[in-house]
Structure 1
Amino acid sequence: MAEQQQNKFASIVWAVTEDKFYKDEIILEFHSFVRIISGEMKVVQAENSYMFGAGDTLLFPRNQLSAVIKRPKDGRPYKAVVLGLTTERLKEFYTKHTLQPILPLAHKTRKFDPHPLLDGFFASLASYFELEDELPIDIARLKLEEAISILRSLDNNIDSLLADFSQPGKISLADFMEKHYMFNMPIEKFGYLTGRSLSTFHRDFKKAFYTSPQKWLTKKRLELAHYQLSEKHRKPVEVYLEAGFENLSHFSFAFKKQFGYAPTNLI
């Protein structure tokens, strides 16, 4: 069974994954505030990878391209409480609150140390997911405001992230693709994240790499997989998802076509 989302209302979600593992490429349109209840989640990004487990609390910034792999652990499925801090909610919040001094801050996934404020907040949400009816909108709004207030209390520079409502602008296509080629997502998304329409992306891509995006992406992903297998001594089943392939059989076929031998030959 694929990932299920239960009791979804006002951007507060109880996420449950019953599969052996669940993998997705995400590019969120809003910040996501998460407490993992059970299971584990690996997050792979252009310059970092993270492993999160039960009890961890994290914040995913919007427009942050990530590969997310969720798995059961210790006999328990992946479960998490997820709050979507949408731009509309944040703008509403900041009309009533004064911005703290803003310093430059990298828009990256962050993990918060254990804290009574976090424990108390997520414990207060647990009983709401037993409701048969939708969570009343006024309560949902209060809980989202509480979440933002807690984040501001724990990180006095968080406003530089939460109060940044800008959209992606046109950036270097070559630099972006070299850092993010392993993410398996539609070409339209690559265009959006580099500030281009689909037609402009294709034109600029050919100027930069002298080939089509599809051919270039496949070659780069296979080279990454080959490096992981030959130099890091990992197994094909550990590599194919992180290299940007959807399934092991397609990866094995493409690998043998490119290099002339199966990935298992490198084990």
Structure 2
Amino acid sequence: MEFKTHYLSPDIKLSNFEDKPFRTEVLFEHHMLIWFISGETKIVQADSIHVFGAGDIFLIPRNQLTTVINYPKDGLPHKTVAMHLTMPMLKEFYTKNPPKARLLHSPGIRNFGKHPLLESCLASLIPYFDLKDGLPENLASLKIEEAINILRIIDGDIDGILANFQEPGKIDLTNFMERNFMFNMPMEKFGYLTGRSLTTFKRDFKKSFDTTPQKWLTQKRLELAHYRIREQNRKPSDVYAEVGFENLSHFTYAFKKHFSYSPTADSH
């Protein structure tokens, strides 16, 4: 598996992935602006599935549970330029440039298609990846500030996302887990997103569901997989990653143990 990441600066990187599909589950600490050069990505969130390909530009807001499945396509590697829009940088930016939109507390992915202004900004970074010493820090900051200014020009709501510096507060655990059980995250992350310490999260979970988080998560993921295979005629190999399993063999074993037959029997 060949997966290369080349950092121009701590917040700007070029990723190149040439092998079979690569899946990861992430909770982005910072907003991520991504430009696709080649390949394809499927992004699974609680309420939606997005597919992005060559030329697409999109923003993944911070603190969102996301499954990312990357594929090479059409004989070309999965290749992207990604820019981290960090909290310290955004706080400094908005001190000088007051936000013009109200805060959005639950924003989804912002898809900018192949917008020429953003494409021009991000494409201008490519030659710098060939420099031995990368991009000077002051120039990296200018390029990120340019991207933020372009986002503000083309998206009237973007300040409501980028200028929101609040951390997750304590929220209803039952509703959150029912919406996000398919994300294979450490319990500490589930606790953080519901405004709880790990100890409090486990205690509240027991009160809400009368079982352990791991047992409940496994059952919910298997039930969702069963539905997608049987009712939506999906293949087990296409489903296991979407519902939170690390690999197909573990999923097959757990499915058979729970339902007493193989998932391939459901897919016919």
TM-score normalized with structure 1 length: 0.97
Q: Which moved more, 1:117-126 or 1:226-235?
A: 117-126
Q: Which moved more, 1:89-98 or 1:35-44?
A: 89-98
Counting only pairs closer than 5 Å after superposition, residues 119-130 of structure 1 correspond to structure 2 as 119-130=119-130
Distance 1:2 1:180 in 2: 30
Q: Match of 1:138, as an amino acid? A: N
Residue 159 (structure 1) aligned with residue 159 (structure 2): yes
Deviations 1:143-167 (A, max 9, x none): 0100100000001221111000000
Structure 1 residues 234, 148: closer, same or farther in 2, change over 3 A?
A: same
Tell me the SS of whatever aligns to 2:124: helix
Judge conservation of contact 1:23–1:67 (CA < 8 Å) in 2: yes
Judge conservation of contact 1:170–1:195 (CA < 8 Å) in 2: yes
Counting only pairs closer than 5 Å after superposition, residues 2-81 of structure 1 correspond to structure 2 as 3-81=3-81
Distance 1:56 1:116 in 2: 11
Q: Which moved more, 1:233-242 or 1:97-106?
A: 97-106
Structure 1 residues 47, 101: closer, same or farther in 2, change over 3 A?
A: closer
Counting only pairs closer than 5 Å after superposition, residues 246-257 of structure 1 correspond to structure 2 as 246-257=246-257
Judge conservation of contact 1:10–1:137 (CA < 8 Å) in 2: no
Judge conservation of contact 2:101–2:158 (CA < 8 Å) in 1: no
- 2:220 matched residue in structure 1: 220
Counting only pairs closer than 5 Å after superposition, residues 91-106 of structure 1 correspond to structure 2 as 91-102=91-102, 104=104, 106=106
Deviation at 1:2, TM superposition (A): 5.4
- 2:118 matched residue in structure 1: 118
- 2:145 matched residue in structure 1: 145
Judge conservation of contact 1:3–1:22 (CA < 8 Å) in 2: no
Structure 1 residues 167, 102: closer, same or farther in 2, change over 3 A?
A: same
Distance 2:32 2:202 in 1: 31
Distance 1:96 1:127 in 2: 30
Q: Match of 2:98, as an amino acid? A: T
Tell me the SS of whatever aligns to 2:96: coil
Q: Match of 1:165, as an amino acid? A: F
Deviation at 1:105, TM superposition (A): 6.5
Deviation at 1:18, TM superposition (A): 2.1
Judge conservation of contact 1:2–1:22 (CA < 8 Å) in 2: no
Identity %: 55
- 2:171 matched residue in structure 1: 171
User: Number of paired residues?
Assistant: 267
- 1:242 matched residue in structure 2: 242
Tell me the SS of whatever aligns to 1:100: coil
Deviation at 1:104, TM superposition (A): 4.6
- 2:259 matched residue in structure 1: 259
Q: Match of 1:261, as an amino acid? A: Y
Deviation at 1:132, TM superposition (A): 1.1
Distance 2:93 2:103 in 1: 20
Provide the aligned C-alpha RMSD in A: 1.2
Tell me the SS of whatever aligns to 1:102: coil
Deviation at 1:116, TM superposition (A): 2.4
Distance 1:206 1:117 in 2: 50
Structure 1 residues 190, 38: closer, same or farther in 2, change over 3 A?
A: same
Q: Match of 2:163, as an amino acid? A: A
Distance 1:103 1:53 in 2: 29
- 1:190 matched residue in structure 2: 190
Judge conservation of contact 1:27–1:66 (CA < 8 Å) in 2: yes
Structure 1 residues 185, 101: closer, same or farther in 2, change over 3 A?
A: closer
TM-score normalized with structure 2 length: 0.97
Structure 1 residues 180, 95: closer, same or farther in 2, change over 3 A?
A: same
Tell me the SS of whatever aligns to 1:95: helix
> Gaps spanning 5+ residues in structure 2: where?
none
Deviations 1:91-147 (A, max 9, x none): 111121132142657411110143321221122111111111121001001001001
- 2:202 matched residue in structure 1: 202
